[in-house]
Amino acid sequence: MASRVLSGRYELLEKIGDGGMAVVYKGKDKLLNRFIAVKILRPEFTKDATFVENFKRESQAAAGLSHPNIVGVYDVGREGNINYIVMELIEGDTLNKIIEREAPMDYRKVIDISKQVASALRVAHKNKIIHRDVKPHNIMITNDGVVKLADFGIARAVNDATLSTGSKIVGSVHYFSPEQARGNYVDERSDIYSLGIVMYEMLTGKVPFDGDNPVTVALKHINEEIVPPIELEPSIPPALNRCVMKATSKFQTNRYSSADELIEDLDNISFVTNVTGPGLFESSSVAEKRDKRKKEIENEIEEVVEAREQERKRRKRKTTLIIAAIVVLLGAAAAGYALWKIGYFSPTKAAPSLLDCTLEDATQKAEEQGFKIKQGKDVYSSDYAEGRVCIQDPAPGTEIPKESTITINLSKGNKEGLVPSLIGMQEADVENYLKSYGYELGNVKTITSPEEAGQVLEQSPVAGSTLDKESKVDIIVSDGQGTEKGIVPSVTRMSLEDAKEAITSAGFTVGNISYDWDASIGKGYVIYQQYQANSQLDKGTAIDLQVSSGPEPEPEAEPEDSGDSNKNKEKEKEKENTE
């Protein structure tokens, strides 16, 4: 394709990328005289008219998105059987290559990249466009550190085709949301899940789910719990760990409701963890310029301060005599005011601030100021640590009578927490275990199962879910009465003795044995088994077998006709009629 010109305008110069759905070329727009990227769909996708129509419609919609964190789409066209997109040319690397080089990545860099991707998704979602294939391969980082999200049109077209035709899953299942893996309805929270998986991979260097084939990975997204990234990389800030777990919740309702909400949380994490200083992608030359300008500003500030100080001294000399005369008159007034301020002449006094104090410290501080303490109910607070004063009444600074009582409420910590795993525990241990996490035991349902009686089989909400403290967690336990299942062995074409041994070894019994002629299987070998091989069956079940008696023998030749033979035939016929 190199050197080819599409639509008489876009000259293809060299191939720069090769993906599952398209090939990317560096090109030149001969009309506008600028370098571009041209993405050409693979032939297998152009054969599907529905796909091509979806691709064209969604790419045109994506072309209307204008944002620094979205790869610009300039044109969408077709020439012959070639469908192509003309896009902004990005000088930089894809995020998956950066992950290969740097992961586990510095959490501050992860926050910076994630915020930029979320900013791109915010614009797309407000324009009613769901990306559906957020992954490191579709995220570009320019040489200046700007994050660019690409492939809106292709992602939407591929997913529409998948859902409408029922064909095999297309795309990177490592980043699929559970609802995408099921083929269910997706929305902006599906993109947030995929971004959460990307964040997980940046922080740990691994995706949470992997397997031998796409179906295995998709099922893990649906059924298995994600190992918190902080368990793989303990240096990850707990707040960022919670952010990733919330974004990747299996339930859409438990995730961030919008990209705006995710960005706000990332901003708060940046503030709490003191993400300051030069930009994470800042070059050395830019840093030098910044430091130089900082020194210049400091010098300017010092000059202004010095000038103001000189002016102040000049004015002070002029007013010294006046001030000396007034000081004596004001001295008495000032002393009186000071005594009034500290409450010497007043029956009231300002309530001290007891916020963020322990109960012991708050009591001591209040008593030193002449007040009493009353402890109220403990309440949840996201602003103050557990055991610290989070509310006081009256509020700090309020004028109240001396020796008044100040009521304080201690924090119980954050209201939300992560639900622990109960699977495999005994019912008797669950209630106290949940209480240690701040939750209560809800409904307990018993079902028939071969597992040990009382063993927890399922829980709701699932482990790792974000849930308010004091909420209830329901469980399903085993009654221990279930029959153990076994796998039916394949015994056809085995000798009868070997078949019996295989059946009993698998935990079953041999049932009725019948025989029949069969020329294809030797005598004494099994030609039929009652239950299909590899199916599950209660152990102890009897399995009937049919065994070959060998080929059916040839009929004997009839003797020549004679009077005696005719008589015999008549007798046999008479006998058959009688029977």
User: DSSP states of 399-442 as a string?
Assistant: EEETT-EEEEEEB---SEEEPPP-TT-BHHHHHHHHHHTT-EEE
Q: What is the CATH number of the domain that holds 378?
A: 3.30.10.20
Within a domain: residue 327? no
10 Å CB burial of residue 573 (0-12, 13-18, 19+) is exposed
Within a domain: residue 36? yes
Q: Looking at 478, 497, 523, which one is the last position of a domain?
A: 478
Q: What is the CATH number of the domain that holds 29?
A: 3.30.200.20
**151 & 267 share domain:** yes
d(C-alpha 116, C-alpha 132), whole Å: 17
Please answer whether residues 423 and 463 qualify as being in contact, where contact means their C-beta atoms are separated by less than 8 angstroms: yes
Question: How many structural domains does the chain have?
Answer: 4
pLDDT at 171: 47
Q: 10 Å Cβ neighbour count for 260?
A: 15
**187 & 265 share domain:** yes
* Residue 20: domain span: 5-87
**58 & 189 share domain:** no
**118 & 166 share domain:** yes
Collect all residues with Cβ–Cβ distance below 8 Å to 406 and sequence separation of at least 6.
351, 354, 366, 371, 372, 373, 374, 392, 393, 394, 400
- Angle at which helix 152-165 crosses helix 49-63, to 10 degrees, equals 150
**100 & 149 share domain:** yes
Q: Looking at 225, 249, 272, which one is the last position of a domain?
A: 272
pLDDT at 277: 40
pLDDT at 571: 57
Within a domain: residue 343? no
Within a domain: residue 555? no
**45 & 171 share domain:** no
Cis peptide, bond prior to residue 559, ω within 30 of zero: no
What does the pLDDT profile of the chain (579 residues) look like in tens digits?
Answer: 666 888 888 889 988 887 667 788 999 998 888 999 888 887 777 766 766 776 676 677 667 778 889 888 888 888 887 888 888 888 888 899 999 999 899 999 999 999 999 999 998 888 888 888 899 988 999 988 899 998 775 545 444 433 333 333 344 788 989 988 887 788 899 999 999 999 999 999 999 998 888 888 888 888 889 999 999 999 899 989 999 999 999 988 899 999 999 999 898 888 776 533 444 444 444 445 545 554 554 655 455 445 655 666 676 666 676 666 666 666 656 655 555 555 544 567 888 999 889 999 999 999 988 899 999 988 887 678 889 998 999 888 888 887 889 999 998 877 778 888 899 899 999 999 898 888 999 999 998 888 889 999 999 998 878 888 889 999 999 988 877 888 999 999 999 999 999 999 999 999 999 999 988 888 999 999 999 988 888 888 999 999 999 998 877 665 555 555 555 666 565 555 444
Tokens (6 digits) for 379: 């309440």
d(C-alpha 113, C-alpha 119), whole Å: 10
Please answer whether residues 467 and 499 qualify as being in contact, where contact means their C-beta atoms are separated by less than 8 angstroms: no
pLDDT at 557: 63
**386 & 241 share domain:** no
**48 & 150 share domain:** no
Q: Is 133 a catalytic residue?
A: yes
Within a domain: residue 508? no
d(C-alpha 86, C-alpha 100), whole Å: 28
| Measured CA distances, 210 to 103, 185, 221, 267 (Å) | 17, 24, 10, 31
Tokens (6 digits) for 351: 């309530």
pLDDT at 503: 94
Within a domain: residue 305? no
Within a domain: residue 167? yes
**Residue found under tokens 């085995």:** 494
pLDDT at 492: 92
**256 & 153 share domain:** yes
pLDDT at 172: 74
d(C-alpha 459, C-alpha 421), whole Å: 8
**121 & 214 share domain:** yes
SS3 at position 121: helix
CA nearest 475: which of 446, 449, 496? 446
Collect all residues with Cβ–Cβ distance below 8 Å to 228 and sequence separation of at least 6.
241, 244, 245, 464
Within a domain: residue 206? yes
Tokens (6 digits) for 165: 């035709």
d(C-alpha 201, C-alpha 256), whole Å: 19
Q: 10 Å Cβ neighbour count for 397?
A: 9
**382 & 363 share domain:** yes
pLDDT at 330: 67
The residues that bridge with 547 in the sheet, in sequence order, are: 515, 526
**Residue among 18, 48, 106, 133 flagged as catalytic:** 133
Q: Looking at 54, 71, 87, which one is the last position of a domain?
A: 87
pTM above 0.85, yes or no: no
**213 & 120 share domain:** yes
Q: What is the CATH number of the domain that holds 124?
A: 1.10.510.10
DSSP assignment, residue 352?
P
